[in-house]
Amino acid sequence: MQIRDNLLDRIAEAEREGWRGEVEGLKVSLAGAEQKLAQVDERSTVDLGLPTFHEVAGRTVAAGERSRA
């Protein structure tokens, strides 16, 4: 995130200063950084094998059974 924020700051500065070539190059770098962040997000999803709320809440208790809390 820090790299992305830095690139956005540098793009804003380059636009203020009128450095068109620099703006384009920084935008390419920003697109690459955002693509890498998206790849990292995709890979960081981990399935822990825990039941979902619907799997747990969908249970029924037969008449006469008591919950052990």
Q: Give residue limits of the domains in the chain.
A: 2-42
pLDDT tens for 1-37 read 799 999 999 999 999 999 999 999 999 999 999 999 8
Residue 5: predicted pLDDT: 94
Residue from 20, 23, 18, 21 nearest 9 by CA: 23
The per-residue pLDDT for 55 is 74
pLDDT at 42: 78
Dump pLDDT digits (tens) for 49-66: 887 777 777 666 666 666
Count of positions (residues) in the chain: 69
By the 8 A CB rule, do 23 and 15 touch? yes
